[in-house]
Amino acid sequence: MRLITTDKYLPYIDAILVGYGKLVNLERTGKRGRPKKPYWEVPSELIYAMVKKHLSKGRICKVETELIFGTEEGLKNALKASKVSNNINTSFIERQNGTDRNRNSQKLRKTLSFSKELEEHELMTFFSLYSYNFCWSVGTLQLQDKQGKRSVKRTPAMAAGLTDHVWTIEEWIRFPTVQLC
């Protein structure tokens, strides 16, 4: 069972269908006319809910949630099984987007340092994301030492068990990559 939650940005629906769905091509009927168009089938284990924020004078006045794919029972089970949240929200991705804008000036709002080329934008996004995971210690991931103080700094990659130390940017850039495919 996979739970996905987003805000009401409508292109997410198509992106989720393409990413997780199965394209069903209908066979020709043998009759005259155009053949039926293929469509995306949603996997039964996919649960997708949307958070809709209503604004009044630039402030949030109402928040609604809507189940797009899946069943109410599946949604309840997914939220119950979640280790990080018991309601539909977008706080994790919003926090990541805030961090991304903070670390990547090309994504700032109302700025002159916008990306002029899509490829450059994508490369900077990957650089920001992966260097964050290996080279940036996160306060909420710190471990307590024996005296009960939060002093052992950790990166997201350390918390996931991918590395044992905070990397420098130079070390991270110089590390040889191996393609495993």
CA end-to-end span of the chain, whole Å?
A: 26
> pLDDT per residue over 160-171, tens digit each?
999 999 999 999
Whether residue 180 is contained in a domain is answered as no
Whether residue 8 is contained in a domain is answered as yes
Whether residue 142 is contained in a domain is answered as yes
181, pLDDT greater than 60: no
> pLDDT per residue over 5-61, tens digit each?
988 888 889 999 999 999 999 888 888 888 889 999 999 999 999 999 898 988 989
SS3 of the chain: CEEEEECCCCHHHHHHHHHHCEEECCCCCCCCCCCCCCEEECCCCEEEEEEEEEEECCEEEEEEEEEEECCHHHHHHHHHHCCCCCCCCCHHHHHHHHHHHHHCHHHCCCCCCCCCCHHHHHHHHHHHHHHHHHHCCCHHHCEECCCCCEEECCCHHHHCCCCCCCCCHHHHHHCCCCCCC
Whether residue 102 is contained in a domain is answered as no
Are residues 79 and 22 located together in one domain of the fold? yes
Are residues 6 and 83 located together in one domain of the fold? yes
Question: How many domains in the chain?
Answer: 2
180, pLDDT greater than 70: no
Are residues 58 and 118 located together in one domain of the fold? no
Are residues 67 and 118 located together in one domain of the fold? no
Distance of alpha carbon 107 from alpha carbon 124, whole angstroms = 10
> pLDDT per residue over 104-141, tens digit each?
777 776 777 777 788 888 888 888 888 888 998 888 88
Whether residue 84 is contained in a domain is answered as yes
Are residues 10 and 72 located together in one domain of the fold? yes
Whether residue 143 is contained in a domain is answered as yes
At 164 the pLDDT is 92
Are residues 10 and 73 located together in one domain of the fold? yes
At 85 the pLDDT is 81
Residue 167 belongs to domain spanning? 108-174
Are residues 85 and 132 located together in one domain of the fold? no
> pLDDT per residue over 76-101, tens digit each?
999 998 877 888 888 877 777 788 88
